[in-house]
Structure formats: structure tokens, C-alpha cells
Amino acid sequence: MQQPSFPTPLTRPIGWSGAAAVTAGAALGAIVGAKVACAPGGWLLDLDACAPAGAPVGALVGALLALVALPLLGQGTRRGEHAAHRPAPTTTTAARLVWLAIAAALGRWLAEAVVNPQMELEGVVWMALLPVVLVAAAGLAIVAEGLVRRRGWARWAAVVACSLLGVTALAGLVDWIGALVRSRAHRWGPAPIDLVTAVLVLAVSVGVVMLLMTPATSRDFRSSRQPPAGTNGR
């Protein structure tokens, strides 16, 4: 059985692109850290308000994750290049899962508006999230297209983003279970759509990361670059 292919350790300075990647990972990690600290804290610690205490830890984890995945940036085709062969099945499947994540995000936003059409202040906040959802969907669409074109940055972005997204989904799943436990003493319970969303996002995130780290995907990206003209592949 083939083992997952992990990025090799860095052997040279990361440079400006690497520094930008680590900074982006830290920014994403800070958002995820704050979300993760808020989700289970409401029922584990009985917190009345959500304090962004997890942001610094999340930023550190995101930066470390981005740094570990940094070698992926050097694999695959570059700007203006076309892949020398068709994408591997693992690469194509990962790109399709990213598209599924886009559909899930848009569907979740639309479902909330349909299920709760009479939301007052929460409805205004939910409508305000639409631009954020659209921007995130556009970013994921660019990543999905980049995977098909075997861009190294797209593989890096998908691995880092889906890893952090999976943590967020897991925290949401824990939060839903906690709300279900609390609901035994009341006549209300958590919305089933929240459970479906958390499970779907978690499954998609894990699937994308596992597919992109397989040896088949690594070979696909490494062999996608066309040899220089006149070398005949030598």
C-alpha cells in the first residue's frame, strides 16, 4: 500500500513568496482559532460571550501549517505554462470536491434564508455575510481551476485552507452535539441542517487533503511541467 506523500523539508530560504504564504496561513489560522475557541466554549465553559482568545494560537498553528506545506509551492506548472498531460484522477477528484465545498457554502446560506424567512436582526447579519460567502466561493473556484492546471500554489492553498476548514467543521460538530445535550432540559434542539453542514464540510476537507497528498498527485504535479524546447524531454 502506498503511503501519503508529505512535503519534503525546506533546504533553502523561503523568500518573499514563502513569507507571504506563511502570513496568509497565519491570518487564516487566526480566524479559525477564534471560531474554534468560540464554538465549544459556549457549552464546555458556559461562556456568555465569544472572546477571540483562540486567535493567537490559531495564527501560530496556521503559520506552522503553511510553513510545512511550503514545498508544494515549487511543484507543478508555472504562470504561462500548460500541463504536459491530463490531470491524475486524484487531482481531478480533489478539484471536484472543492467545487462541492463551494456548492455547500452557497446552499447553506440559501437554506438558512429559506428555513428562517422571518429573521429580524439575525437576518440582517446573515444577509451581510453574503459578500463574504461570494468572495470565499470565488477564491475556492480559482483554487479548483488551479488544481486542474497543476499550479503549485493551488495545491498549497487547498491543503492549508481545507486543513483549517476541517478543524472549523469539527468544532461546529462538537458545538452541535453540545447543543443537543443541552436541549434535553428544554423543548428546543439544534437545527439538523447545522449537523449536515458540519459533517459535509468535514468530509470534503479531509477528502481534499488526503487526495492532494497521495503519491499519485505528487507525481502528477512534478511531471506536469513541459521540458524546455530542444531537449526532447532529456
Helices (H), 116-151: 121-128, 130-148
- pLDDT of 157: 92
Residue 154 pLDDT > 80: yes
Residue 209 pLDDT > 80: yes
Per-residue pLDDT averaged across 132-158, rounded? 90
- pLDDT of 40: 53
Question: Which range in 108-122, 165-179, 218-232 is most confidently predicted, on average pLDDT?
Answer: 165-179
Tell me which residue of 100, 102, 27 sits closest to 60, measured CA to CA. 27
Find the range with the poorest average confidence among 20-24, 28-32, 36-40.
36-40
Percent of the chain with pLDDT over 90: 28
- pLDDT of 223: 86
- Beta-ladder partners of 77: 151
More confident residue, 66 or 37: 66
CA distance 105 to 133: 7
- pLDDT of 12: 47
- pLDDT of 163: 93
CA distance 45 to 63: 27
Per-residue pLDDT averaged across 130-158, rounded? 90
* pTM assigned to the model: 0.78
Residue 5 pLDDT > 70: no
The mean predicted confidence, pLDDT, of the chain is 79
Alpha-carbon distances, residue 133 vs 69, 99, 102, 109, 127 (angstroms): 25, 14, 9, 8, 10
Alpha-carbon distances, residue 203 vs 23, 64, 98 (angstroms): 27, 23, 11
- pLDDT of 56: 86
Q: Quickly state the pLDDT bin for 47 (edges 50, 70, 90).
A: very low
Q: Quickly state the pLDDT bin for 79 (edges 50, 70, 90).
A: confident
